[in-house]
Amino acid sequence: MSRDEMSALPHLALSVRAHNREGLHRTDEAWLEGRWADPSTRVLVVSGGRVDGASGRVVWLTPDEAPPGERVLLGHRDGVTRFAVLADRADVPGGTETWVGLRGMFGLLSSGTPEAAEAAPWLFHAVGLAEWRRATRFCPRCAGELTPRSAGHELTCGSCGRSQFPRTDPAVIMTITRGEPGSEGEQVLLGRQASWPTTQWSTLAGFCEPGERLEDAVRRETYEETGIEVGEVDYFGSQPWPLPASLMLGFTGRATSSEICVDGAEIADARWFTRTELGAGIASGTITVPRSVSISASLLRHWYGQDLPGPDVWGR
**Residue 316's pLDDT band (cuts 50, 70, 90):** very low
Q: Which amino acid is at 218?
A: V
Average pLDDT over residues 16-39: 95
Query: Residue 241 pairs with which residues in a beta bridge?
Result: 246
Q: Which residues contact 53 (CB under 8 A, 6 or more apart)?
A: 59, 99, 100, 104, 105, 108
Q: What's phi and psi for 178, nearest 5 deg?
A: -145, 160
Top CATH class, 3-135? alpha beta
Question: Is the pLDDT confidence value at 219 over 60?
Answer: yes
Q: Is 237 left (phi over 0), alpha (psi -120 to 50) or beta?
A: left
Q: Is the omega angle on the peptide bond into residue 140 within 30 degrees of 0, that is, cis?
A: no
The span from the first CA to the last CA of the chain, in angstroms, equals 23
Top CATH class, 169-304? alpha beta
- In whole angstroms, how far apart are CA 195 and each of 31, 104, 173, 234, 314? 49, 20, 19, 30, 15
**Residue 111's pLDDT band (cuts 50, 70, 90):** confident
Q: Say what the pLDDT of residue 294 is.
A: 87
User: Residues 43-59: pLDDT tens digits?
Assistant: 999 999 999 988 888 99
User: Residues 58-105: pLDDT tens digits?
Assistant: 999 999 999 999 999 999 999 999 999 999 999 999 999 999 998 888
